[in-house]
Amino acid sequence: MSTEDILNFYEEVKDDLKFQNTSSVRIKILTSLYEGPKKTKDLRKSMGIRSSTILHGITELEKQNLISTDGDSFFLSELGEITALNLVDRIKTSVSLKKFRKLWLNHEINSIPPELLVQIGDLSISELIEAEQDDIAKTHGVQVKIALKSGKLKGISHIFHPDYIELFNKILNKNIDVELILTGNILKKAIESHNPESLENLKRLISKKQLKIWETKEDIKIAFAVTDKTMTLGLFSKKGIYDPTKILVSDHGDALDWGNKLFEYYLKRAQQIDLDYFKRFE
């Protein structure tokens, strides 16, 4: 869809957008009713607003066919449900952008597919862990703790550090199921950094399907992991260098779902390696 199409659409709906977004009362009513039908007293309790103000807002929403009544209860119409769903999503997105502006600003976001960027509100219940450049062990320590406490781990990496090999082996020795998507360069470094004994153990774990590795040809500018309990996300700076001073961490279900979607997106575009892959390093 072209920019011209979008601008033409805007002219058609600008009054509707203005109506939906210029009244905090109407916004709160729609959001409250998104949970289900409510009476005036229920809305007054949840919103902390006088009944007369609420009823005025409901009258305005009824005129737009967004709310219907059943006795003394109010509920969203079909149009209202769609409107409220998008409203809730916009609120969550705004929260995510505001809370984590340090992560989004001056960082690469192109490796997050558009369909997940528009769902960035799913990360609103998260925490941004920050560290100074001379104390990046803080963010690394958080990631290590999360990984070692997991039952399953899925990850995407565009970075490599020799310390990761020791951590990687610790994770596998705890019988944690691991799925990794690595760039060809990182995969090569990881394999070459294993001694012959640990490399044989690596192949054994692959054959047991405890470890699954995919190779990607894409230049993915994120470092990301999602476990059965927690998701972590780190980004690259605009200069193309990974920024270890900021990681997003969440154990909320919405964030875990978002993380699994991100992993699946790149999984479909990667090639799983098998034991024959290791022959090129013999």
> Does domain 3-90 bear CATH number 3.40.1190.20?
no
**For residue 57, how many other CB atoms are within 10 A of its CB?**
22
Structure letter (DSSP) for residue 278: G
Could you give the residue range(s) of every CATH 3.30.870.10 domain in the chain? 100-281
Mean residue pLDDT of the chain comes to 88
Distances in Å between the alpha carbon of 166 and those of 99, 153, 172, 190, 195? 34, 16, 10, 11, 12
127: β partners: 249
pLDDT band at 127 (very low <50, low <70, confident <90, very high): very high
pTM metric for this prediction: 0.87
> Do 245 and 107 meet the contact criterion of CB atoms below 8 Å apart?
no
- Cα–chain center distance at 276: 34
* CATH class entry, domain 100-281: alpha beta
> Do 263 and 154 meet the contact criterion of CB atoms below 8 Å apart?
yes
Greater confidence, 111 or 197?
Answer: 111
pLDDT band at 100 (very low <50, low <70, confident <90, very high): very high
pLDDT tens string 134-188:
777 788 788 888 888 888 999 988 766 556 666 676 777 778 888 999 888 888 8
Could you give the residue range(s) of every CATH 1.10.10.10 domain in the chain? 3-90
pLDDT band at 125 (very low <50, low <70, confident <90, very high): very high
Percent of the chain scored above 90 by pLDDT?
52
pLDDT tens string 194-240:
777 777 877 888 888 888 999 999 988 998 999 999 999 999 999 98
> Do 129 and 246 meet the contact criterion of CB atoms below 8 Å apart?
yes
